Structure 1
């Protein structure tokens, strides 16, 4: 198998920024639309609708930014650890705006930030595995220093994301990486940095995404 090809640092930074902007532009645009309605309408019912839209969209924008801060951002200094409880909170905030139901089982623990970032990026891949909704079950096992992650994805037309074939392993030959495709590529970078192997497999009509810590041998 050929060696992974890595994007240039400037290209990776630009694409990740574009990804975050893509995720939050919709709720921010909805806030702007709600404000325009308030400026132009005197109807109380329409004003109530606008306030509801603004509140809902502001919550969604905040949730997406909090998620992005942990999933893509620095999230502390080098070597920092992140509370899995905080990771669950931002994951649930993100999933509030998605079609799939969501469950999370993990021990109370601090974990190295890159492992937590990987876990959150796998949540995004799990969402793409059930495009019509369903259920995503996240389970974290093992010691925080050598964890295993599993994400069970069930729903109509559940499928292994096409991104797994080349983007997660980092096989970028003849692959165009844009603001959407950079996320699975970034998940693969995190996995390799954490010494973890990410695999997606069909289990009947469901998809199982796993990330397992490699056992180092002498």
Structure 2
């Protein structure tokens, strides 16, 4: 998978806080979305090939079930990406948290971990909503073998705090989290996987929030809190 470093990072390999060029960031986020979509779209194509080649009614039923399931997954992942990475309205727009919950639950139906969402019914500035959805993706990375993820949103809608409790076998803090979230990418190759914590850090700074991940026993807790 292609990786990208900034020119500053190549000239000075020591850890430093720098930002990816806009074109590089856009390319990596597009790669991240494509990574999520390619599997269900490929399964749809496989199902269509079975329909074309098989005469068995049992195999045709299997193929149709595969196509339906994969189409739902592709749609759910695209709807999630639209809120998590897309413009989601004009500058200063607000998003209903129930919409965020809906796309998050749809996305998680295709993942190994169970999912719970605890939040008030409220409108929230779009960047905060984008941040919590991107933290959901980091929570998925924290429990690669499955388990459970609980998202809790508290506080005033314009000054919220987010807590994501990640429980599962071999729960772990995502790779290079402590460097990528603050934007310290001098020694970290940034690819379509590494861009996730980096982008979450960009969103957090835009929202005036700080993101952290710690172990709570064998579980991982990811938080986003307003800066003091």
**1:187 maps to what in 2?**
200
How many residues of Structure 1 are paired with residues of Structure 2 in the alignment?
214
> 1:92 offset after TM fit, Å?
0.3
Query: 1:99 offset after TM fit, Å?
Result: 0.7
Which residue is 2:177 aligned to?
Answer: 164
Secondary structure in 2 matching 1:147: strand
Offset of residue 134 of structure 1: 0.8
Counterpart position of 2:64:
51
5+ residue gaps, structure 1, are: none
| 1:94 CA displacement | 0.6
Instruction: For residue 142 of structure 1, give the secondary structure of its aligned residue in structure 2.
Output: strand
Measured on the aligned residues, the alpha-carbon RMSD in Å equals 0.9
- Report the counterpart of residue 9 of structure 2 in structure 1: none
Matches within 5 A, 1:1-218: 4-215=17-228
- The Cα shift of 1:3 comes to 5.9
Q: With structure 1 as the length reference, what TM-score do the two structures score?
A: 0.96
Which aligned segments of 4 or more residues in structure 1 are displaced greater than 6 angstroms? none
> How far apart are the structure 1 equivalents of 2:151 and 2:176?
20
Tell me how far apart the structure 2 counterparts of residues 36 and 128 of structure 1 sit (CA, whole Å): 32
CA distance in 2, matches of 1:163, 1:174: 10
Gap runs ≥5 in structure 2: 1-14
Higher RCO, Cα 8 Å, sep 6+ = 2
Counterpart-to-counterpart distance in 2, 1:179 and 1:153:
22
Whole-angstrom distance in 2 between the partners of 1:63 and 1:206: 27
Quick one: distance in 2 between partners of 1:44 and 1:56?
18
Q: Distance in 1 between matches of 2:95 and 2:17?
A: 28
Instruction: Compare 206-215 and 48-57 and name the one that shifted more.
Output: 206-215
Name the SS for the 2:86 alignment partner.
Answer: coil
For residue 4 of structure 1, report the CA deviation from its aligned partner: 2.4
Cα separation, 2, equivalents of 1:122 and 1:210: 9
Please state whether the residue corresponding to 2:204 is helix, strand or coil. helix
